[in-house]
Amino acid sequence: MFAKCMHMHYNTHMTTNIQIRIDEKLKKDSEELLDKLGLDFPTAFRMFLKKMNMVKGIPFSIVDDTDGWYYSYSKKEEDEILRAAKDTSNSPIFKDAKSAIAYLKNKK
C-alpha cells in the first residue's frame, strides 16, 4: 500500500526551458569562471533569478558610467569611508568621494 502512495505524488513545481543567444567569447569566458566556482550556467542563472526575486529587482547596479560621474566602491573602500566618518578628529572637507579615498590612502 505504501508503494501505491509514492506513485500518486504529483510534483506541483513544473519546469520550463529558457533559450538565449550570447556572444561566443562571453559564453566561453563565463563557462571558465563558472567552472572555477563549481557552477554551471543553469545553476548560476537560477541563482540570479532567485536573488532577483528576493530583492525585487536586478541584484546589482546598472549605471551609465560614460560621463565618469559614477564611482563604484569596493567593500574595503566602503569600510574605510565608514571608519573615517566615525573619526571626527580634524578631517578635511572633500569635494567628492574620490578625493576622500585618496586622502585616506595617503594617510596610512
- Helices (H) and strands (E) counted in the chain, each on its own, are 5, 0
Give yes or no for a contact between 34 and 40, defined as CB atoms under 8 angstroms apart: yes
Tens digit of each residue's pLDDT (9 = 90 or more) over 49-102: 999 999 888 887 776 666 665 566 777 877 887 887 777 666 677 888 888 888
pTM of the model: 0.49
Q: How far apart are CA 21 and CA 23, in angstroms?
A: 7
- Evaluate if residue 7 carries a pLDDT over 70: no
Residue from 50, 103, 59 nearest 77 by CA: 103
Q: What does the pLDDT average to over 1-20?
A: 67
The torsion angle over the Cα atoms of residues 8, 9, 10 and 12, rounded to 10 degrees, is 160
- Evaluate if residue 6 carries a pLDDT over 90: no
